[in-house]
Amino acid sequence: MTSEERFGVTKDGFVVKGIDRIIADQQDRARAMFGDDVDLTSGSALRKVLDAAAVDTHELWRALESQYYGSFITTAQGPSLDLLGRDLGLRRRELRARGPVALTLADADAVPDRDYVLPQGTVMVTVPSADAPALAFRSTGAVTLAKKPSTATVEVEAVARGASGNIRIGRELRLDPDWARHNLNLGTAEIKAVVGRDFQGGELGEPDATYRARLLGVPRTVWTQEALLAQVLDVNGVRDAVIFDPLGGVEATQRAFGTFRFGSGGFSRARQTGSPYFFDIVVAPEPGWPWSQGEASFPGLYGEVLDVVRQWRPVSVFPALLAANQVDVGIRATLIIEAGHDEEAVKAAILDAVRASVNRLRLGHGVLSSDIVLSARTAAGVVDVQNLRLRRFAPAFGQTYYGGATYGGAQELSVGENLDLAPDEIARFSVDTSMADLRVVIA
């Protein structure tokens, strides 16, 4: 058999024998058993039996191929991937239930002509009862309520994963009083929320691609930065995290590096067993997620991450948990759109695309002007994006100082200039008129 005729497990993977080759092999065996003059035409009884058996044999080959590739994380799918995940101690996570909620503004007569902005991540809770505990939900986008109109709809998702978040249509929600006290200033206004459609998705598991990426990132060692980071990123509500370990590697930028005489002295003083060692973990929460206990009806990230780290840190190694500096990013540009398109609809589509692009960035990753242009040009009717300027606003926090985070006033960059961020900063884009200035020109 030549290399082109090898089937089954080969150096290039598993090669399935095609049904045409199976039929040809069966006919060769039939001629060897019954003679060369055996009737194998399409109408003969023997040919029909051989063709039916060939279909079953081909299905067996396909099952063998699926079993072979189901043994590797990079190629396994469905139940096979679940079995591999159980071996690694990492099960497939459930998704968060999602659905629309209708918000209504009431009792706003005391402050006329005022707009009430509910940012992305606004926390709402169900009214608890004796047999149903309170469930928390977060909005996935920003919404503005005014006196006229006083009703808006926003998509929300459950804080906890699982089918418990699949609440029914018509159920009433309310703003989390603890979260609203720390993040909003509504005055005498009251906001009512009603579920507009049955929530869905909580009963489903995360897609194979997401689950596979988590499995591939499972560290094989007990105590490394990668092992600890994998545990922190798996905490509910963590958007991104980074570990700053000053003694975890060689700092090649120091003056002594490359000039030290290793034969004449010790390069550094060895750490004694049991002596304390400190490192920093910078965590970027998802929008609206509370950082400290008491800021919402569910636990804050600080305590959740600290509990996880305590289980993974060695003796006398202590972490310092810090909130990342969230930098608000804005844009100013001129849009060239085709005639006949709704200008406001085009603007809204561009802002949604830019927000999705910016909010996918990780800690320390700057905002590229070219990425914003590409995101904006995906909107229907956009011909060109000109004179794009990125805007940087003051970060929401000022707790960490790795790499020179910028504080103070806002700034607008030059045309085409990229927005660089420090290692402890993370970009956040909000659809706010003060941040996004889009001028429209009809082509």
At residue 159, does pLDDT exceed 80? yes
pLDDT tier, 113 (very low <50, low <70, confident <90, very high otherwise): confident
Mean pLDDT, residues 318-342 taken together: 87
CA dihedral (137, 141, 146, 149) positive or negative: negative
Specify the pLDDT at position 128. 79
Pairing of strands 325-337, 425-429: parallel
Which CA distances in Å does 350 have to 110, 354, 419? 36, 6, 19
pTM, 2 dp: 0.71
**Distance of alpha carbon 237 from alpha carbon 125, whole angstroms:** 16
**Distance of alpha carbon 346 from alpha carbon 337, whole angstroms:** 8
Interhelix angle 301-312/225-233, nearest 10 degrees? 140
DSSP codes, 385-421 = EEEEEEEEEEES-----SS----SS-EEPPTT--B--
At residue 2, does pLDDT exceed 80? no
Contact 242, 364 (CB under 8 A): yes
**Distance of alpha carbon 339 from alpha carbon 331, whole angstroms:** 23
**Distance of alpha carbon 238 from alpha carbon 230, whole angstroms:** 11
Most confident of 97-101, 111-115, 319-323, 351-355: 97-101
**Distance of alpha carbon 309 from alpha carbon 312, whole angstroms:** 5
What value does the mean pLDDT of the chain take? 82
**Percent with pLDDT over 70 in the chain:** 83
**Residue that is written with structure tokens 């089918």 in the block:** 163
At residue 265, does pLDDT exceed 80? no
Cis amide leading into 149 (omega within 30): yes
Q: What single-letter amino acid sits at 180?
A: A
Interhelix angle 369-377/343-358, nearest 10 degrees? 140
Long-range contacts of 408-416 (CB under 8 A, 24+ apart): 412/332, 413/389, 414/389, 415/387, 415/388, 415/389, 416/369, 416/388
At residue 413, does pLDDT exceed 50? yes
At residue 255, does pLDDT exceed 50? no
**Distance of alpha carbon 378 from alpha carbon 375, whole angstroms:** 5
**Residue that is written with structure tokens 């310092």 in the block:** 320
Q: What single-letter amino acid sits at 145?
A: L
Specify the pLDDT at position 326. 85
Specify the pLDDT at position 257. 46
Task: Supply φ then ψ for residue 111, to 5 degrees.
Answer: -130, 85
Strand, coil or helix: what is 239? Answer: strand
Strand, coil or helix: what is 228? Answer: helix
pLDDT tier, 124 (very low <50, low <70, confident <90, very high otherwise): very high
Answer with the residue of higher pLDDT: 336 or 406.
336
Specify the pLDDT at position 220. 66
Specify the pLDDT at position 424. 85
User: Does an H or E element contain 309, and which?
Assistant: helix 301-312
Specify the pLDDT at position 441. 85
Region of poorest pLDDT, from 106-120, 234-248, 419-433:
106-120
Specify the pLDDT at position 404. 47
DSSP 255: T
Specify the pLDDT at position 246. 59
**Distance of alpha carbon 207 from alpha carbon 264, whole angstroms:** 57
Contact 288, 139 (CB under 8 A): yes
pLDDT tier, 90 (very low <50, low <70, confident <90, very high otherwise): confident
DSSP codes, 56-109 = HHHHHHHHHHHHHHTTSTTT--THHHHHHHHHTT-PPPBPPPEEEEEEEEES-T
Name the residue among 264, 243, 392 with its Cα closest to residue 328: 392
Q: What single-letter amino acid sits at 414?
A: S
**Distance of alpha carbon 232 from alpha carbon 210, whole angstroms:** 17
Q: Where are the beta strands (DSSP E) in 180-269?
A: 190-195, 238-244
Name the residue among 309, 340, 327, 344 with its Cα closest to residue 433: 344
| Structural domains in the chain, sorted by start | 3-69 (no CATH), 98-195 (2.40.30), 219-260+272-323 (3.30.300), 325-442 (no CATH)
pLDDT tier, 287 (very low <50, low <70, confident <90, very high otherwise): confident
Specify the pLDDT at position 251. 40
**Distance of alpha carbon 178 from alpha carbon 186, whole angstroms:** 13
At residue 253, does pLDDT exceed 50? no
Other CB atoms closer than 10 Å to residue 228's CB: what's the count? 23
Mark residue 238 as left, alpha or beta (left: phi above 0; alpha: psi -120 to 50; beta: remaining): beta
- Say how far residue 345 (Cα) sits from the centre of its chain: 26
